[in-house]
Amino acid sequence: MSDYIIRIQTDKDLGSEKFVRGLLSGWFREVDENLRPEFFDLGEPVRRSFAAEGVDAAIHTWLSNGMSLYLRRRSKPKFLAATEWFRREKGRDPRLFPWSVTIWLSPLAGDGATSDLLRFLIRHFEPAFGLITTKRDYQGKHFLTFEDIDGTTEKYLGQDILEKDQRLPGVYWTTYFGPWAVDRIGGSHFANLGSNVEEIDGGYLTRAYLSSSEAGSPSAQEKENQLATQLGKNHFFDKAMVNIEALRTDAETAEMVEEKIMQMKRQGSGND
């Protein structure tokens, strides 16, 4: 069985004490004890212990450093949660909802507890979009390999909601459409989805098929396609429609990159 992937996207300010305290304290009050983090840190390796230092130490670390934490659970079911936020060094972020939370979770967690964890994240992060699928299915939808001028290139595509075309990442076993996404698609489209829809915080949580174990199978893909069709396929990223030629590096750009690398090497040699 493949790991779960939980991913949400938001534009909420993740630096306020109210948010950070609510999230980290809530994770220990509101979430199943088998899905509570055991360790935290600003990056890998994640070694600082909640048991030894307490939740307040994690809250202080997030707030005082202006950086979100990695959260890890080493007991079964294991997980790693990474929140992407506050990328000051990159300037203005072109994405509409630039901050994300991604959790890689053991399949031992089970569909029910994993779904409850997504609901918890929705309440605190107020996302525009969220999903649960398996790692294998996610890679199948977003990971692309192609031959470029310098050899094989591998990259993930279509994970974000870009300002240019405002397309959503896709339809999955479980997909959450926040208020922004519902407004873009049209609320009336969700009224006809039957019992596989749950209203949460002004958005809709949809389930394309019964079990996550189906994810990636032909039958699951057919059901996801039916749901995307009902909501409007034009709203979703489709890897099959990617123009690979547009992704390839042209000879002029490759030459410029190579010259820049050589220039940096010469400057480095001059400083020795």
- pLDDT tens-digit map of 177-199: 999 999 999 999 998 887 789 99
Please state the pTM of the whole predicted model.
Answer: 0.89
- CA dist 29 and 126 (Å) reads 19
The tally of domains found in the chain comes to 1
Q: What is residue 168's DSSP assignment?
A: B
Residue at token pair 């918890």: 120
142 in Cβ contact with 159 (< 8 Å) = yes
User: Quick one: average pLDDT of 199-220?
Assistant: 96
**Using CA of residue 18, residue 129, residue 62, residue 57, what is the dihedral sign?**
positive
Range of the domain at 170: 4-270
Cβ contact 42:86 at 8 Å: no
Average pLDDT, the chain: 90
Among 242, 251, 260, 12, smallest CA distance to 130 is for 12
Distance, C-alpha 117 to centroid of its chain: 14
